Amino acid sequence: MDDYHHRIEYKRRQPGGSLVCEHVEDVDDHGWYIVKGQEWKEHYTRGCAVEYLDRVRAKGGTYVVVVWRDEVRVCTVGLERVRPSRG
């Protein structure tokens, strides 16, 4: 295993409030450690999430994005995804 292996879970909130894990991404990335502090980790996670969700053309909605390194939770953020209209 690489030193910077992370697992990113993308959970979308359902109409009743529950969360369903719709996507999982495994990455080798050290970006969470470029700058110290939780604010940077949240910023970096949101950037990664927007890029990934766009790439996979994920459904719109409210997502909870959780980043894991081994069994340690690195960061959790929420974000709203507006799916681009087709045109």
Q: Is residue 42 part of a domain?
A: yes
Residue 76 sits in which domain range? 5-81
Measured in degrees and rounded to the nearest 5, phi and psi for residue 66 equal -120, 130
Q: Is residue 35 part of a domain?
A: yes
Q: How many CA atoms lie within 13 A of 60 on its CB side?
A: 4
DSSP labels for 15-52?
Answer: TTS-EEEEEEEEEE--GGGSS-SHHHHHHHHHHHHHHH
Q: Is residue 87 part of a domain?
A: no
Q: Is residue 86 part of a domain?
A: no
Residue 53 has a CB neighbour count (10 Å cut-off) of 22
Q: Is residue 18 part of a domain?
A: yes
> Is the pLDDT reported for residue 1 higher than 50?
no
Q: Is residue 28 part of a domain?
A: yes
Number of folded domains that form the chain: 1
> Is the pLDDT reported for residue 64 higher than 90?
yes
Q: How far apart are alpha carbons 59 and 79 in whole angstroms?
A: 13
Read off the pLDDT of residues 32-53 as tens digits, 9 standing for 90 and up: 999 999 999 999 999 999 999 9
Q: How far apart are alpha carbons 25 and 23 in whole angstroms?
A: 7
In whole angstroms, what separates CA 46 from the centre of its chain? Answer: 6
Q: Is residue 47 part of a domain?
A: yes
Q: What is the pTM of this model?
A: 0.90
